[in-house]
Structure 1
Amino acid sequence: MTSPAAQQFIERVDNRSLVVGIIGLGYVGIPLALATLRQGFRVVGFDIDARRVDDINAGRSAIKHIPMEPIAQAVAADRFVATADFDRLGEPDALLIAVPTPLTRHREPDLSYVVKTTEAIGRRLRRGQLVVLESTTYPGTTDEVMRPILEKASGLKSGADFFLAFSPEREDPGNPDFGTSNIPKVVGGDGLDAQAMALALYGALVVRTVPVSSTATAEAVKLTENIFRAVNIALVNELKTVYSAMGIDIWEVIEAAKTKPFGFMPFYPGPGLGGHCVPIDPFYLTWKAREYDVATRFIELAGEINTRMPYLVVDRLATLLDVHGRKNLSDASILILGLAYKKNVEDTRESPSLKLIELIEKRGARTAFHDPHVPVLPPTREHPTLAGRRSVPVDAASLAAFDAVLIATDHDDVDYAAIVAGSKLVIDTRNVCTRAGIEADNVFKA
């Protein structure tokens, strides 16, 4: 039996009079805002970046794969506003938090964005509000970190005066088949009322909701999804190393193996892991596990293998330059093809290409990059000195100036046949040349 406050909230979801606040207007927040607007809710978006706020209110976005026209229309209709004024946090009936949860330099969870956001909410929290964290984190964050901050700052009590839940984001930037609305949403609430309220809200936004017994369980679900991916990628990365030594093509093996209609799921090797989730999330669990004196050797081993991949790629590059290019890496000029962490997006967070540039330059080589989605490299936490570098053109004249081209990201809108034809040496970490039907003596896999 839900409380009167929860019943009133659910009624406002049903009649679309509820106001939804979204904190963090990035790769998760903007798609979430679009899904919410499409279902007839009014949305207030919050971000600490005033320039991003201005761009969104003007219908502009640096995230190419996200259509901004519906946002611009909602702004014009007074159904959406972006703001950097966190004093307005008391206006929405539900606050959905989609802020970064990176790692520190020591591979420990950095919850500073979550904590600061929670403190900001706590100072403005009012009775009846629902607060939902969507940012990936370790089990216990919602209950052990957020709830005490909110209760202390507001003087209100979770489950009685306000309501708290966790529902992990499941965005896959650039995926044309799955977006916010058609991906099932896992929901865990701090109490039955919070659960019912969060399920009602997300039930209005997405194709299906999946209730779980607690916020910690919901937090564990997200970590499990990404650890599963990280471990399997580590496996095929290790298999690639073994099979390469035997003269066996790992991509050919995977293509044949995936014809089995049961018991096999294809994962693919690469130059390293990128993005905000898969390279980071496993370390959130390994860190939390230490509190319980539990070893996570399998997960940590997978992290070590994936972290090592850029080093192996650079070693392979050096060997191929020496054997086929008659060139030492220390005297070479290398073009990195693809700076984004995955194909057809502009997201460079945790991109292995950045590590590749760093490693190659440490060995004395000169580098440049070409990426049709990244004209200028934005500032990054781990590689601040690379910020501001610009994508170079890839025509016959420019390609001739490089001793090797290293394909690190397999964007679709690149003419790989022209790249191969104009290059002295091509090292392909994504198997894109084979997939494009390109066979040439100057193309090698890594």
Structure 2
Amino acid sequence: MFDTLSERLNTALEGVRGSGTLTEEQVKKVTREIRLALLEADVNYNVVKEFVGRVRERATGAEVSRALSPGQQVVKIVNEELANLMGGSAHKLSYASRPPTVVMLAGLNGHGKTTAAGKLALFVRKQGKNPFLVACDTYRPAAVDQLRQIGRELGVPVYDEGTEAPPEEIAERGVRAARDGGYDFVIVDTAGRQVVDTEMMEELGRVRRACRPHSVLLVLDVVTGQTAVEVAQAFQEYADFDGMILTKLDGDARGGAALSVVSVTGRPIKFASEGEKMSEFDYFYPDRMAGRILGMGDVLTLIEKAEAQMDRREAEAQSKKLMAGKLTFEDFLQQMQMIKRMGPLSGILGMLPGIGQQLKDVQIDDRMLNRVEAMITSMTPQERRNPKLLQNPSRVRRIARGSGTSPQDVQRLVKQFGEMQKMMRQMGKGGMPRMPKMPFGMR
């Protein structure tokens, strides 16, 4: 997400990043370009006006840092103000002193509310909670069926009474069933509409009084841009939510909603939902997101994703083999599968400082990883451990047939793998390596 905004902001800041001095005219120019970049990203006009005003005031004020040049100071100010714009710091879940903790989800149809319910259930289970889902969308039988399916996939129980009973009664009985069953975290999925209307808000009020939620979270689709901001304002007036879940963060190139909703509503973004997998859901960290927007990366999130997929001792052992140039295709397959579980390759690379800008014109095809995996799994165990065996043309043809690729694809993979081993051996000896011409999955 934020691809266009990130590019425009970095262009605006390029002229001052290495500047040893900073004139008033430079400040005016950079803030003017920042203003245009934010408006183009569909950020609310009043939010942009206040943001640019704060940046200009701080950049021309008395702020001095001996460790930073004036140009670097401007970048630091923009980074801090972007983080403040999105809430400043992460707002994590709080739990009821007497279980169960009840969280009610609200939002319009099509914003990903039911999917978010499943993702939240998986998230809190990883936190050691025992989740329970309650289906209160009685207007759409498909919503109840979808929640049942999600529950089956995750192994999380779903309470539903179909679409006949009043939703507030379903909510009350669902929370009671969760309490009686010993579940300590209840997620109530409410009904949405195509647009905000009085009937929906009155129903939300009844459900809220019936289930007495510890927290009400509004689910917003950021792809809808300013519409999402308008929806948030309407729900704030009637439903009094205390936090937001932003969905489809991986699909929005502008990101104006994410930069506007906190200022407009005064409520924090608590969760970010990126991607279609149930595991692609986490707390929203404004400071980390600001760093990603400005091309500074998000190493902390990358580390957390990696640690969730690999044991630390195993990672250290793999790292030693890698730096010694002794990594086999079996090791490479294991690492590649771990990377796939972490999310889209473009998103992972974008978390590395400076990499996002360098790769802006490079096509990163996640399907290439599947092709590479197919080629490696078509090798025999001996071939995976000893790539020199793949100099045999008949072995190459067999692997190509088994993986649905061409012999040239297999030969290219073997060549690139050899180049990578050579590069890592050079790095392990402290040398300056030459990068392979075409890294895996890019062209």
Normalised to the residue count of structure 1, the TM-score between the two structures is: 0.36
Which of the pair has the greater relative contact order for Cα pairs under 8 Å at 6+ separation?
A: 2
Normalised to the residue count of structure 2, the TM-score between the two structures is: 0.36
Which of these two proteins has the greater Rg computed from alpha carbons? 2
Greater helix fraction, Structure 1 or Structure 2? 2
